[in-house]
Amino acid sequence: MKKALIGISNKIKQHKEKIKIWKKSFESFSDGEVILIAANTDDEDIRVCEEELKIKYHKVDVGDPWYINNKRLHHISEYIKTSDIDLFLATDVFDVIFQNDPFLKFDTENYDLFVGNEGIILRE
């Protein structure tokens, strides 16, 4: 079964250390692929993805970056529709660090969709 971690970021050059931590923590526990939805990229962002982060990326235009959190699930789902990967885990990029293989908790024999939350409301 092919597995992948997916998340979205804009300003990749500015946030490369946070992206690196997210990517490396996942890779230390899972052999799944890591995919970054790269929002509103410029040439330097692409260079950082390719040369520094060595991460698979998919460029998208989210328009006004103020709405990136509102549009992220749309862009992630559009990517998933075109992929041959069997199981995806979509997370925030900046505030997730893996301490074990997240796919071990997935009961894929009985379920095909898993949803979590942070225990806070949007206005917080």
Instruction: pLDDT band for 124, please (50, 70, 90 cuts).
Output: low
Residue range 44-68: mean pLDDT, rounded:
94
Q: Which residue has the higher pLDDT, 109 or 120?
A: 109
State mean pLDDT over 77-91: 95
For position 122, what pLDDT does the model report? Answer: 64
**Is 115 among the domain residues?**
no
Q: Which pLDDT value is given to residue 20?
A: 98
Asked if residue 93 belongs to a domain, the reply is yes
Cβ neighbours around 62 below 10 Å, total? 19
Sheet containing strand 3-9, strands side by side: 56-60, 33-39, 3-9, 87-90
The residue among 123 and 10 whose pLDDT is bigger is 10
- Residue 92 belongs to a domain with what CATH number? 3.90.550.10
Q: For the purposes of burial, counting CB atoms within 10 Å of the CB of 85, is it exposed (0-12), middle (13-18) or buried (19 or more)? A: middle
Nearest Cα to Cα of residue 56 among 65, 46, 41: 46
> What type of residue is 104?
L
111 has pLDDT over 80: yes
Please check whether residue 32 is in contact with residue 26, taking contact to mean a CB–CB distance below 8 angstroms.
yes
User: Is 66 among the domain residues?
Assistant: yes
For residues 85-111, give the mean pLDDT: 94
**Domain span including residue 76:** 3-105
Note the pLDDT of residue 67. 81
Residue 68 CB neighbours (<10 A): 19
Whether 46 maps to a domain, the answer reads yes
Q: How far is CA 33 from the centre of its chain?
A: 10
Domain count, the chain: 1
Candidate from 39-43, 55-59, 65-69, 76-80 with smallest mean pLDDT: 65-69
Determine the average pLDDT of the residues in 87-100: 94
pLDDT cut 90: percent of the chain above it: 77
